[in-house]
Amino acid sequence: MPKAVKLALLLAPAFGLVVVMMSLVIWRAVAQSFGLYNFNGEDLLSLRHWAEMFATRRYWNALEWSAYVATTSALITLAIAYPLALWLRKPFAGSYLLSALLKAPYFVPGLVAVFLLLNVIAFHGIVNQALMWLGLTDRPIRLQNDRNGYGLIALQVWKQLPLAFLLLQGAVQAIPDPVLNAARDLGAGPVARFRKVVLPLTARAMQAASILIFINVAGDFTFQATVGPTRENSLATLMVQYQGTNYGDWNAAAVVGVTLMGLSLVGAVVFTALVQGLTRAMERA
Amino acid sequence: MWTLPRLQTLLASLLTAVFLLWLIVPFAMALLWSLVDPGTPWSYPDILPPALSFERWTLMWETTTLSTAMFNSYTLAPVAAVTAIVLAAPTAYAFARIDFPGKAAAQIVTLTPLVLPGFVTAVFFASILVSFGVYSRYGAILLGHVVLFIPYAVRILTVSFAQVNQEVINAARDLGASGWGVFRAAFWPVLKPGVLASFLIVFILSIEEFALAFIVGSPSFTTIPTILFSYLGYDFIRPNAAVVALILVVPNVLLMLVLERLLQSANPANVSGKG
Protein backbone atom coordinates (compact mmCIF):
# COMPACT_ATOMS: atom_id res chain seq x y z
CA MET A 1 0.00 0.00 0.00
CA PRO A 2 1.45 3.42 -0.89
CA LYS A 3 2.38 5.50 2.14
CA ALA A 4 -0.08 8.31 1.31
CA VAL A 5 -3.03 5.92 1.07
CA LYS A 6 -2.10 4.29 4.36
CA LEU A 7 -1.84 7.69 6.02
CA ALA A 8 -5.23 8.77 4.65
CA LEU A 9 -6.84 5.59 5.94
CA LEU A 10 -5.32 6.16 9.38
CA LEU A 11 -6.44 9.79 9.53
CA ALA A 12 -9.95 9.24 8.19
CA PRO A 13 -11.76 7.82 11.25
CA ALA A 14 -11.01 10.59 13.76
CA PHE A 15 -9.38 13.54 11.98
CA GLY A 16 -11.56 13.00 8.91
CA LEU A 17 -14.72 12.64 10.98
CA VAL A 18 -14.03 15.86 12.89
CA VAL A 19 -13.19 17.82 9.73
CA VAL A 20 -16.28 16.60 7.87
CA MET A 21 -18.73 17.07 10.75
CA MET A 22 -17.39 20.42 11.89
CA SER A 23 -17.27 21.87 8.38
CA LEU A 24 -20.82 20.65 7.81
CA VAL A 25 -21.97 22.33 11.03
CA ILE A 26 -20.18 25.62 10.37
CA TRP A 27 -21.27 25.65 6.71
CA ARG A 28 -24.85 24.95 7.77
CA ALA A 29 -24.85 27.88 10.21
CA VAL A 30 -23.40 30.31 7.67
CA ALA A 31 -25.64 29.07 4.83
CA GLN A 32 -28.81 29.24 6.90
CA SER A 33 -27.98 32.77 8.04
CA PHE A 34 -27.99 33.79 4.35
CA GLY A 35 -31.33 32.13 3.65
CA LEU A 36 -30.25 28.72 2.35
CA TYR A 37 -31.73 25.50 3.78
CA ASN A 38 -34.86 27.47 4.62
CA PHE A 39 -37.26 25.11 6.42
CA ASN A 40 -40.16 27.58 6.27
CA GLY A 41 -40.11 28.55 2.60
CA GLU A 42 -38.00 28.67 -0.50
CA ASP A 43 -34.22 28.73 -0.35
CA LEU A 44 -33.17 32.21 -1.36
CA LEU A 45 -29.65 33.55 -1.03
CA SER A 46 -30.17 36.94 0.61
CA LEU A 47 -29.10 39.32 3.34
CA ARG A 48 -32.70 39.58 4.55
CA HIS A 49 -32.21 37.60 7.76
CA TRP A 50 -29.19 39.66 8.74
CA ALA A 51 -31.00 42.91 7.94
CA GLU A 52 -34.03 41.86 9.99
CA MET A 53 -31.82 40.89 12.89
CA PHE A 54 -29.86 44.15 12.75
CA ALA A 55 -33.17 45.98 13.22
CA THR A 56 -34.01 43.92 16.32
CA ARG A 57 -33.18 45.39 19.71
CA ARG A 58 -33.05 41.99 21.42
CA TYR A 59 -30.21 40.95 19.13
CA TRP A 60 -27.98 43.90 20.02
CA ASN A 61 -28.83 43.54 23.71
CA ALA A 62 -27.88 39.86 23.66
CA LEU A 63 -24.63 40.58 21.81
CA GLU A 64 -23.73 43.32 24.26
CA TRP A 65 -24.67 41.18 27.28
CA SER A 66 -22.68 38.13 26.13
CA ALA A 67 -19.63 40.28 25.35
CA TYR A 68 -19.92 42.03 28.73
CA VAL A 69 -20.33 38.85 30.81
CA ALA A 70 -17.53 37.06 28.93
CA THR A 71 -15.08 39.96 29.25
CA THR A 72 -15.80 40.59 32.93
CA SER A 73 -15.66 36.89 33.81
CA ALA A 74 -12.35 36.43 31.96
CA LEU A 75 -10.76 39.47 33.63
CA ILE A 76 -11.96 38.61 37.15
CA THR A 77 -10.95 34.95 36.79
CA LEU A 78 -7.44 35.92 35.68
CA ALA A 79 -7.16 38.51 38.44
CA ILE A 80 -7.90 35.80 41.01
CA ALA A 81 -6.02 32.90 39.41
CA TYR A 82 -2.77 34.71 38.61
CA PRO A 83 -1.82 35.83 42.14
CA LEU A 84 -2.86 32.41 43.48
CA ALA A 85 -0.66 30.62 40.94
CA LEU A 86 2.31 32.87 41.81
CA TRP A 87 1.72 32.40 45.53
CA LEU A 88 1.47 28.60 45.27
CA ARG A 89 4.54 28.28 42.99
CA LYS A 90 6.71 26.93 45.78
CA PRO A 91 5.10 24.23 47.94
CA PHE A 92 4.62 25.03 51.61
CA ALA A 93 2.56 23.52 54.41
CA GLY A 94 -1.05 23.39 53.23
CA SER A 95 -0.40 24.49 49.65
CA TYR A 96 -1.23 21.11 48.07
CA LEU A 97 -4.65 20.92 49.67
CA LEU A 98 -5.39 24.48 48.60
CA SER A 99 -4.33 23.75 44.99
CA ALA A 100 -6.54 20.67 44.97
CA LEU A 101 -9.51 22.63 46.29
CA LEU A 102 -9.02 25.34 43.66
CA LYS A 103 -9.37 22.66 40.99
CA ALA A 104 -12.48 21.11 42.56
CA PRO A 105 -15.10 23.05 40.52
CA TYR A 106 -13.70 21.29 37.46
CA PHE A 107 -15.30 18.08 38.76
CA VAL A 108 -18.75 19.64 39.24
CA PRO A 109 -20.99 19.68 36.13
CA GLY A 110 -22.37 23.13 35.30
CA LEU A 111 -26.00 22.23 36.02
CA VAL A 112 -25.11 20.83 39.43
CA ALA A 113 -23.18 24.03 40.19
CA VAL A 114 -26.33 25.98 39.29
CA PHE A 115 -28.40 23.92 41.69
CA LEU A 116 -25.88 24.30 44.51
CA LEU A 117 -25.80 28.07 44.01
CA LEU A 118 -29.60 28.39 43.85
CA ASN A 119 -29.78 26.53 47.14
CA VAL A 120 -27.29 28.80 48.86
CA ILE A 121 -28.73 32.10 47.63
CA ALA A 122 -32.42 31.16 47.99
CA PHE A 123 -34.79 33.60 49.72
CA HIS A 124 -34.42 31.79 53.04
CA GLY A 125 -31.08 30.28 52.04
CA ILE A 126 -27.91 30.28 54.05
CA VAL A 127 -26.52 33.51 52.58
CA ASN A 128 -29.65 35.50 53.37
CA GLN A 129 -29.84 34.04 56.87
CA ALA A 130 -26.20 34.95 57.47
CA LEU A 131 -26.76 38.51 56.23
CA MET A 132 -29.73 38.92 58.55
CA TRP A 133 -27.88 37.37 61.46
CA LEU A 134 -24.98 39.77 60.90
CA GLY A 135 -27.49 42.61 60.91
CA LEU A 136 -26.55 43.72 57.38
CA THR A 137 -30.18 43.54 56.35
CA ASP A 138 -33.43 43.05 58.25
CA ARG A 139 -35.32 41.35 55.42
CA PRO A 140 -34.14 38.62 53.03
CA ILE A 141 -32.84 40.05 49.73
CA ARG A 142 -33.77 38.62 46.36
CA LEU A 143 -30.43 37.25 45.16
CA GLN A 144 -31.68 34.82 42.53
CA ASN A 145 -31.61 36.13 38.94
CA ASP A 146 -30.36 39.52 40.21
CA ARG A 147 -30.72 42.34 37.71
CA ASN A 148 -27.00 43.07 37.44
CA GLY A 149 -26.01 39.46 36.82
CA TYR A 150 -23.64 39.36 39.82
CA GLY A 151 -24.74 35.80 40.61
CA LEU A 152 -24.20 34.81 36.97
CA ILE A 153 -20.70 36.29 36.80
CA ALA A 154 -19.77 34.81 40.19
CA LEU A 155 -20.84 31.37 39.00
CA GLN A 156 -18.89 31.76 35.74
CA VAL A 157 -15.76 32.78 37.64
CA TRP A 158 -16.18 29.85 40.02
CA LYS A 159 -16.55 27.42 37.10
CA GLN A 160 -13.70 28.84 34.98
CA LEU A 161 -11.18 29.34 37.79
CA PRO A 162 -9.74 25.77 37.65
CA LEU A 163 -8.91 26.12 33.95
CA ALA A 164 -7.12 29.45 34.46
CA PHE A 165 -5.37 28.19 37.58
CA LEU A 166 -4.14 24.98 35.89
CA LEU A 167 -2.75 26.82 32.86
CA LEU A 168 -1.10 29.58 34.90
CA GLN A 169 0.24 27.21 37.53
CA GLY A 170 1.89 25.16 34.79
CA ALA A 171 3.55 28.25 33.32
CA VAL A 172 4.62 29.71 36.66
CA GLN A 173 6.11 26.44 37.87
CA ALA A 174 8.01 26.06 34.60
CA ILE A 175 10.05 29.20 35.29
CA PRO A 176 13.49 27.86 36.27
CA ASP A 177 14.78 29.04 39.63
CA PRO A 178 18.24 29.91 38.23
CA VAL A 179 16.60 32.49 35.95
CA LEU A 180 14.94 34.23 38.90
CA ASN A 181 18.13 33.97 40.97
CA ALA A 182 20.17 35.45 38.14
CA ALA A 183 17.75 38.37 37.89
CA ARG A 184 18.03 38.90 41.64
CA ASP A 185 21.84 38.80 41.51
CA LEU A 186 21.77 41.39 38.76
CA GLY A 187 19.92 43.67 41.15
CA ALA A 188 16.29 43.23 40.05
CA GLY A 189 13.79 43.77 42.88
CA PRO A 190 10.54 41.79 43.20
CA VAL A 191 8.63 44.19 40.95
CA ALA A 192 11.28 44.23 38.26
CA ARG A 193 11.57 40.43 38.41
CA PHE A 194 7.84 40.14 37.94
CA ARG A 195 7.75 42.61 35.05
CA LYS A 196 10.80 41.43 33.14
CA VAL A 197 10.95 37.71 33.90
CA VAL A 198 7.69 36.26 35.24
CA LEU A 199 5.24 38.18 33.09
CA PRO A 200 6.92 37.53 29.70
CA LEU A 201 7.37 33.83 30.56
CA THR A 202 3.71 33.39 31.54
CA ALA A 203 2.19 35.58 28.81
CA ARG A 204 1.32 32.62 26.60
CA ALA A 205 -0.52 30.82 29.38
CA MET A 206 -2.37 33.99 30.28
CA GLN A 207 -3.35 34.47 26.65
CA ALA A 208 -4.59 30.89 26.33
CA ALA A 209 -6.52 31.08 29.60
CA SER A 210 -8.21 34.38 28.77
CA ILE A 211 -9.22 33.22 25.29
CA LEU A 212 -10.61 29.90 26.47
CA ILE A 213 -12.57 31.53 29.30
CA PHE A 214 -13.93 34.21 26.98
CA ILE A 215 -15.10 31.61 24.44
CA ASN A 216 -16.61 29.35 27.10
CA VAL A 217 -18.52 32.16 28.77
CA ALA A 218 -19.61 33.90 25.56
CA GLY A 219 -21.25 30.68 24.37
CA ASP A 220 -23.08 30.08 27.66
CA PHE A 221 -26.70 29.01 27.68
CA THR A 222 -27.15 27.03 30.90
CA PHE A 223 -26.07 29.64 33.45
CA GLN A 224 -27.90 32.49 31.70
CA ALA A 225 -31.10 30.45 31.45
CA THR A 226 -31.04 29.51 35.14
CA VAL A 227 -29.30 32.18 37.23
CA GLY A 228 -28.91 35.09 34.78
CA PRO A 229 -31.09 38.21 34.88
CA THR A 230 -34.50 37.32 33.47
CA ARG A 231 -34.68 40.41 31.23
CA GLU A 232 -31.37 39.63 29.51
CA ASN A 233 -30.53 37.08 26.84
CA SER A 234 -27.17 35.64 26.00
CA LEU A 235 -26.54 34.98 22.30
CA ALA A 236 -26.98 31.24 22.95
CA THR A 237 -30.32 31.62 24.75
CA LEU A 238 -31.55 33.96 22.00
CA MET A 239 -30.45 31.50 19.32
CA VAL A 240 -32.25 28.63 21.05
CA GLN A 241 -35.39 30.78 21.38
CA TYR A 242 -35.45 31.46 17.63
CA GLN A 243 -34.78 27.83 16.78
CA GLY A 244 -37.16 26.45 19.39
CA THR A 245 -40.80 25.53 19.12
CA ASN A 246 -42.15 29.08 19.52
CA TYR A 247 -40.58 30.42 16.35
CA GLY A 248 -38.94 27.59 14.45
CA ASP A 249 -37.00 30.32 12.66
CA TRP A 250 -33.75 28.49 11.86
CA ASN A 251 -32.46 31.29 9.64
CA ALA A 252 -32.73 33.85 12.44
CA ALA A 253 -31.10 31.36 14.82
CA ALA A 254 -28.29 30.98 12.27
CA VAL A 255 -27.66 34.74 12.22
CA VAL A 256 -27.32 34.69 16.02
CA GLY A 257 -25.13 31.55 15.88
CA VAL A 258 -22.77 33.05 13.31
CA THR A 259 -22.63 36.23 15.41
CA LEU A 260 -21.63 34.09 18.41
CA MET A 261 -18.82 32.46 16.44
CA GLY A 262 -17.74 35.93 15.32
CA LEU A 263 -17.79 37.20 18.91
CA SER A 264 -15.58 34.26 19.99
CA LEU A 265 -13.12 35.09 17.24
CA VAL A 266 -13.08 38.80 18.08
CA GLY A 267 -12.62 37.96 21.76
CA ALA A 268 -9.64 35.74 20.94
CA VAL A 269 -8.01 38.49 18.85
CA VAL A 270 -8.68 41.23 21.43
CA PHE A 271 -7.36 39.21 24.36
CA THR A 272 -4.24 38.23 22.40
CA ALA A 273 -3.55 41.88 21.64
CA LEU A 274 -4.33 42.88 25.24
CA VAL A 275 -1.97 40.35 26.83
CA GLN A 276 0.81 41.08 24.36
CA GLY A 277 0.39 44.82 24.73
CA LEU A 278 0.40 44.56 28.52
CA THR A 279 3.51 42.39 28.54
CA ARG A 280 5.38 44.73 26.25
CA ALA A 281 4.33 47.84 28.16
CA MET A 282 5.39 46.28 31.46
CA GLU A 283 8.76 45.21 30.07
CA ARG A 284 9.51 48.70 28.82
CA ALA A 285 8.16 50.60 31.81
CA MET B 1 7.05 37.11 65.82
CA TRP B 2 5.25 36.48 62.54
CA THR B 3 7.55 34.99 59.96
CA LEU B 4 6.65 34.85 56.30
CA PRO B 5 6.19 31.02 56.13
CA ARG B 6 3.90 31.07 59.15
CA LEU B 7 1.87 33.89 57.70
CA GLN B 8 1.65 31.95 54.43
CA THR B 9 0.44 28.80 56.15
CA LEU B 10 -2.07 30.77 58.18
CA LEU B 11 -3.45 32.44 55.06
CA ALA B 12 -3.52 29.08 53.24
CA SER B 13 -5.42 27.37 56.06
CA LEU B 14 -7.87 30.24 56.20
CA LEU B 15 -8.54 30.03 52.44
CA THR B 16 -8.72 26.24 52.65
CA ALA B 17 -11.35 26.51 55.37
CA VAL B 18 -13.36 28.97 53.28
CA PHE B 19 -13.18 26.77 50.18
CA LEU B 20 -14.06 23.65 52.15
CA LEU B 21 -17.11 25.37 53.62
CA TRP B 22 -17.93 26.64 50.16
CA LEU B 23 -17.97 23.04 48.87
CA ILE B 24 -19.27 21.14 51.87
CA VAL B 25 -22.17 23.42 52.80
CA PRO B 26 -23.88 23.37 49.37
CA PHE B 27 -23.41 19.61 48.99
CA ALA B 28 -24.68 18.96 52.50
CA MET B 29 -27.71 21.10 51.74
CA ALA B 30 -28.33 19.21 48.50
CA LEU B 31 -28.18 15.93 50.39
CA LEU B 32 -30.59 17.23 53.07
CA TRP B 33 -33.01 18.52 50.46
CA SER B 34 -33.04 15.15 48.71
CA LEU B 35 -33.89 13.46 52.00
CA VAL B 36 -36.73 15.78 53.03
CA ASP B 37 -39.81 13.69 53.70
CA PRO B 38 -42.48 14.61 51.10
CA GLY B 39 -45.17 14.42 53.82
CA THR B 40 -43.51 16.99 56.08
CA PRO B 41 -42.11 19.90 54.07
CA TRP B 42 -38.96 21.77 55.12
CA SER B 43 -39.74 25.44 55.29
CA TYR B 44 -38.65 28.61 57.01
CA PRO B 45 -37.84 28.99 59.92
CA ASP B 46 -36.85 25.32 60.48
CA ILE B 47 -33.08 25.11 60.48
CA LEU B 48 -33.06 21.39 59.70
CA PRO B 49 -35.70 19.29 57.92
CA PRO B 50 -38.32 18.08 60.42
CA ALA B 51 -38.36 14.54 59.03
CA LEU B 52 -35.91 12.64 56.86
CA SER B 53 -36.66 9.70 54.59
CA PHE B 54 -35.72 8.10 51.30
CA GLU B 55 -39.32 8.57 50.20
CA ARG B 56 -38.31 11.24 47.65
CA TRP B 57 -35.80 8.93 46.01
CA THR B 58 -38.27 6.07 45.59
CA LEU B 59 -40.98 8.52 44.49
CA MET B 60 -38.69 10.00 41.82
CA TRP B 61 -37.71 6.54 40.63
CA GLU B 62 -41.30 5.36 40.33
CA THR B 63 -43.18 8.42 39.10
CA THR B 64 -40.79 10.47 36.93
CA THR B 65 -38.79 9.75 33.80
CA LEU B 66 -35.61 9.66 35.88
CA SER B 67 -35.12 5.93 35.37
CA THR B 68 -35.47 6.33 31.59
CA ALA B 69 -33.06 9.27 31.62
CA MET B 70 -30.52 7.27 33.59
CA PHE B 71 -30.93 4.33 31.24
CA ASN B 72 -30.39 6.64 28.25
CA SER B 73 -27.33 8.35 29.75
CA TYR B 74 -25.69 5.17 30.93
CA THR B 75 -26.23 3.33 27.66
CA LEU B 76 -25.03 6.29 25.55
CA ALA B 77 -21.84 7.00 27.47
CA PRO B 78 -20.05 3.61 27.25
CA VAL B 79 -20.96 3.16 23.57
CA ALA B 80 -19.75 6.71 22.80
CA ALA B 81 -16.53 6.04 24.72
CA VAL B 82 -15.74 2.75 22.95
CA THR B 83 -16.62 4.19 19.53
CA ALA B 84 -14.44 7.24 20.18
CA ILE B 85 -11.48 5.07 21.18
CA VAL B 86 -11.81 2.75 18.18
CA LEU B 87 -12.02 5.71 15.77
CA ALA B 88 -9.32 7.73 17.55
CA ALA B 89 -6.70 4.98 17.68
CA PRO B 90 -5.63 4.99 13.98
CA THR B 91 -5.37 8.79 13.86
CA ALA B 92 -3.48 8.84 17.16
CA TYR B 93 -1.10 6.22 15.76
CA ALA B 94 -0.45 8.41 12.73
CA PHE B 95 0.05 11.53 14.88
CA ALA B 96 2.47 9.72 17.17
CA ARG B 97 4.54 7.52 14.87
CA ILE B 98 4.41 8.83 11.30
CA ASP B 99 5.96 12.06 10.09
CA PHE B 100 3.98 13.87 7.44
CA PRO B 101 3.71 17.46 6.25
CA GLY B 102 0.95 19.45 7.98
CA LYS B 103 0.86 17.20 11.04
CA ALA B 104 0.88 20.08 13.54
CA ALA B 105 -1.97 21.80 11.67
CA ALA B 106 -3.97 18.55 11.54
CA GLN B 107 -3.55 18.12 15.28
CA ILE B 108 -4.87 21.63 15.91
CA VAL B 109 -7.81 21.17 13.53
CA THR B 110 -8.76 18.01 15.44
CA LEU B 111 -9.44 20.25 18.44
CA THR B 112 -12.15 22.39 16.75
CA PRO B 113 -15.06 20.65 18.53
CA LEU B 114 -13.61 21.99 21.79
CA VAL B 115 -13.60 25.67 20.81
CA LEU B 116 -16.82 25.93 18.82
CA PRO B 117 -19.63 27.09 21.18
CA GLY B 118 -21.52 23.95 22.26
CA PHE B 119 -24.96 25.31 21.46
CA VAL B 120 -23.94 26.43 17.96
CA THR B 121 -22.71 22.89 17.27
CA ALA B 122 -25.90 21.44 18.76
CA VAL B 123 -28.38 23.66 16.87
CA PHE B 124 -26.79 23.25 13.45
CA PHE B 125 -26.14 19.56 13.98
CA ALA B 126 -29.89 19.33 14.64
CA SER B 127 -30.51 21.33 11.46
CA ILE B 128 -28.47 18.79 9.46
CA LEU B 129 -30.46 15.95 11.06
CA VAL B 130 -33.70 17.61 9.93
CA SER B 131 -32.43 17.83 6.35
CA PHE B 132 -31.33 14.21 6.29
CA GLY B 133 -34.50 13.04 7.99
CA VAL B 134 -32.66 11.34 10.84
CA TYR B 135 -35.14 10.56 13.57
CA SER B 136 -33.16 8.22 15.82
CA ARG B 137 -32.42 10.39 18.85
CA TYR B 138 -30.12 7.79 20.35
CA GLY B 139 -28.06 7.44 17.19
CA ALA B 140 -27.92 11.18 16.61
CA ILE B 141 -26.77 12.02 20.14
CA LEU B 142 -24.29 9.14 20.01
CA LEU B 143 -22.73 10.51 16.82
CA GLY B 144 -22.70 14.01 18.32
CA HIS B 145 -20.95 12.86 21.49
CA VAL B 146 -18.36 10.89 19.54
CA VAL B 147 -17.49 13.95 17.42
CA LEU B 148 -17.49 16.32 20.41
CA PHE B 149 -15.24 14.21 22.62
CA ILE B 150 -13.02 12.37 20.14
CA PRO B 151 -10.36 15.14 20.44
CA TYR B 152 -9.68 14.05 24.03
CA ALA B 153 -9.24 10.41 23.01
CA VAL B 154 -6.95 11.40 20.10
CA ARG B 155 -4.77 13.52 22.37
CA ILE B 156 -4.40 10.96 25.14
CA LEU B 157 -3.81 8.06 22.73
CA THR B 158 -1.26 10.09 20.73
CA VAL B 159 0.82 10.41 23.90
CA SER B 160 0.41 6.68 24.57
CA PHE B 161 1.40 5.61 21.03
CA ALA B 162 4.45 7.89 21.17
CA GLN B 163 5.64 6.01 24.25
CA VAL B 164 5.69 2.62 22.56
CA ASN B 165 9.32 1.57 22.28
CA GLN B 166 10.45 0.81 18.71
CA GLU B 167 13.11 -1.59 20.00
CA VAL B 168 10.50 -3.73 21.73
CA ILE B 169 8.51 -3.83 18.48
CA ASN B 170 11.63 -4.89 16.57
CA ALA B 171 12.52 -7.50 19.18
CA ALA B 172 9.03 -9.01 19.06
CA ARG B 173 9.23 -9.16 15.26
CA ASP B 174 12.69 -10.74 15.34
CA LEU B 175 11.37 -13.42 17.66
CA GLY B 176 8.75 -14.21 15.05
CA ALA B 177 5.68 -12.60 16.59
CA SER B 178 2.67 -12.13 14.31
CA GLY B 179 0.95 -8.73 13.95
CA TRP B 180 -1.32 -9.58 16.85
CA GLY B 181 1.63 -10.86 18.87
CA VAL B 182 3.56 -7.63 18.33
CA PHE B 183 0.52 -5.65 19.41
CA ARG B 184 0.10 -7.70 22.57
CA ALA B 185 3.77 -7.64 23.53
CA ALA B 186 4.87 -4.15 22.50
CA PHE B 187 1.78 -1.94 22.19
CA TRP B 188 -0.91 -3.04 24.62
CA PRO B 189 1.03 -2.78 27.93
CA VAL B 190 1.95 0.81 27.07
CA LEU B 191 -1.44 1.75 25.60
CA LYS B 192 -3.60 0.32 28.38
CA PRO B 193 -3.62 3.27 30.80
CA GLY B 194 -4.22 5.68 27.91
CA VAL B 195 -7.12 3.60 26.60
CA LEU B 196 -8.69 3.45 30.08
CA ALA B 197 -8.17 7.18 30.59
CA SER B 198 -9.76 7.94 27.19
CA PHE B 199 -12.69 5.70 28.03
CA LEU B 200 -13.25 7.44 31.36
CA ILE B 201 -12.98 10.98 30.03
CA VAL B 202 -15.38 10.40 27.14
CA PHE B 203 -17.72 8.51 29.46
CA ILE B 204 -17.77 11.32 32.04
CA LEU B 205 -18.16 14.09 29.45
CA SER B 206 -20.95 12.19 27.69
CA ILE B 207 -22.87 11.75 30.95
CA GLU B 208 -22.50 15.48 31.69
CA GLU B 209 -23.17 16.80 28.17
CA PHE B 210 -26.19 19.06 28.04
CA ALA B 211 -26.33 21.21 24.87
CA LEU B 212 -26.62 18.47 22.27
CA ALA B 213 -28.80 16.20 24.38
CA PHE B 214 -31.14 19.13 25.05
CA ILE B 215 -31.40 20.50 21.49
CA VAL B 216 -31.48 17.16 19.68
CA GLY B 217 -33.21 15.06 22.32
CA SER B 218 -35.92 17.26 23.84
CA PRO B 219 -38.69 16.74 24.52
CA SER B 220 -38.92 12.98 23.92
CA PHE B 221 -35.41 11.74 24.68
CA THR B 222 -34.20 12.63 28.18
CA THR B 223 -30.78 12.27 29.75
CA ILE B 224 -29.74 13.05 33.33
CA PRO B 225 -28.62 16.66 32.57
CA THR B 226 -31.77 17.50 30.56
CA ILE B 227 -34.01 16.24 33.35
CA LEU B 228 -32.01 18.27 35.90
CA PHE B 229 -32.41 21.36 33.70
CA SER B 230 -36.15 20.85 33.61
CA TYR B 231 -36.23 20.92 37.43
CA LEU B 232 -34.15 24.11 37.53
CA GLY B 233 -36.33 26.10 35.15
CA TYR B 234 -39.47 28.02 36.03
CA ASP B 235 -40.92 25.05 37.85
CA PHE B 236 -38.04 24.80 40.29
CA ILE B 237 -38.77 21.66 42.35
CA ARG B 238 -35.96 21.75 44.85
CA PRO B 239 -36.08 18.24 46.37
CA ASN B 240 -36.37 16.66 42.90
CA ALA B 241 -33.48 18.77 41.61
CA ALA B 242 -31.45 17.72 44.67
CA VAL B 243 -31.95 14.03 43.87
CA VAL B 244 -31.00 14.41 40.19
CA ALA B 245 -28.02 16.67 40.98
CA LEU B 246 -26.60 14.05 43.33
CA ILE B 247 -27.20 11.26 40.82
CA LEU B 248 -25.32 13.30 38.23
CA VAL B 249 -22.39 14.48 40.31
CA VAL B 250 -21.46 11.66 42.69
CA PRO B 251 -20.56 8.86 40.21
CA ASN B 252 -18.71 11.36 38.01
CA VAL B 253 -16.59 12.72 40.85
CA LEU B 254 -15.58 9.16 41.79
CA LEU B 255 -14.72 8.37 38.15
CA MET B 256 -12.76 11.62 37.89
CA LEU B 257 -10.61 10.61 40.85
CA VAL B 258 -9.87 7.27 39.12
CA LEU B 259 -9.04 9.21 35.96
CA GLU B 260 -6.56 11.45 37.80
CA ARG B 261 -4.76 8.33 39.03
CA LEU B 262 -4.70 6.83 35.54
CA LEU B 263 -3.35 9.99 33.93
CA GLN B 264 -0.57 10.02 36.49
CA SER B 265 0.23 6.37 35.82
CA ALA B 266 0.20 7.10 32.09
CA ASN B 267 3.31 9.14 32.85
CA PRO B 268 6.10 8.08 30.46
CA ALA B 269 8.56 7.40 33.28
CA ASN B 270 6.23 4.86 34.86
CA VAL B 271 5.12 3.13 31.72
CA SER B 272 8.13 2.94 29.45
CA GLY B 273 10.50 2.34 32.35
CA LYS B 274 9.91 -1.37 31.97
CA GLY B 275 11.31 -1.03 28.50
> Where are the domains positioned within chain A?
53-284
* One domain for residues B103 and B231: yes
Which residues of A are less than 8 Å from B12 in CB distance?
92-95, 97-98
With CB atoms and an 8 Å threshold, state whether A226 touches B233.
yes
Q: Are residues B11 and B104 in the same domain?
A: no
Residue A257: enclosing H or E segment and its boundaries? helix A250-284
Cβ distance A116 to B245 less than 8 Å, yes or no, reads yes
Average pLDDT (B56-78) is 90
What is the pLDDT averaged over residues B158-178?
91
- B161 and B206 in a single domain? The answer is yes
**Which residue in A6, A15, A87, A88 has the most chain B C-beta atoms within 10 A of its own C-beta, making it the best mutation to test that interface?**
A15
pLDDT tens string A231-260? 999 999 999 999 986 678 999 999 999 999
Q: Could you say which of B13, B37, B53 is where a domain stops?
A: B53
Tell me the pLDDT band of B273, cut-offs 50, 70 and 90. Answer: very low
- Report CA-CA distances (Å) from A149 to A144, B86, B99: 9, 44, 50
pLDDT for residue B209: 96
Q: Does A28 touch chain B (CB under 8 A)?
A: yes
Its CATH architecture, for the domain A53-284, is: Orthogonal Bundle (1.10)
Domain boundary among B9, B31, B53: B53
* Whether residue B43 is found in the same domain as residue B62: no
Per-residue model confidence (pLDDT) at position B275: 35
pLDDT for residue B121 is more than 60: yes
What is the distance between the alpha carbons of residues A249 and A49, in angstroms, rounded to a whole number? Answer: 10
Q: Are residues B62 and B177 in the same domain?
A: yes
Shared domain for B42 and B112, answered yes or no, is: no
**B35 and B112 share a domain?**
no
Report yes or no: B138 at the A interface, CB cutoff 8 Å. Answer: no
Contact between chains at B16 and A98 (C-beta distance less than 8 A): yes
Beta bridge pairs of residue B52 = B36
> For residue B54, what pLDDT is reported?
83
Could you tell me if B14 and B82 lie in one domain?
A: no
Evaluated on CA atoms A46, A49, A55, A60, the torsion sign reads negative
Q: Is B122 found in the same domain as B15?
A: no
Q: What is the mean pLDDT of residues B2-15?
A: 79
Q: Determine the average pLDDT of the residues in B140-152.
A: 96
Claim to verify: residue B42 and residue B69 sit in the same structural domain: no
Over 70: is that where the pLDDT of A91 sits? yes
Please determine, for residue B269, whether its predicted confidence score (pLDDT) is greater than 60: no
Which of B78, B96, B100 lies closest to B149 in space, CA to CA? Answer: B78
Q: Are residues B42 and B77 in the same domain?
A: no
Identify whether residues B238 and B250 lie together within a single domain. Answer: yes
- Give chain B's domain count: 2
For position B136, which CATH number holds? 1.10.3720.10
Q: Does A264 touch chain B (CB under 8 A)?
A: yes
Residue B1 domain boundaries: 1-53
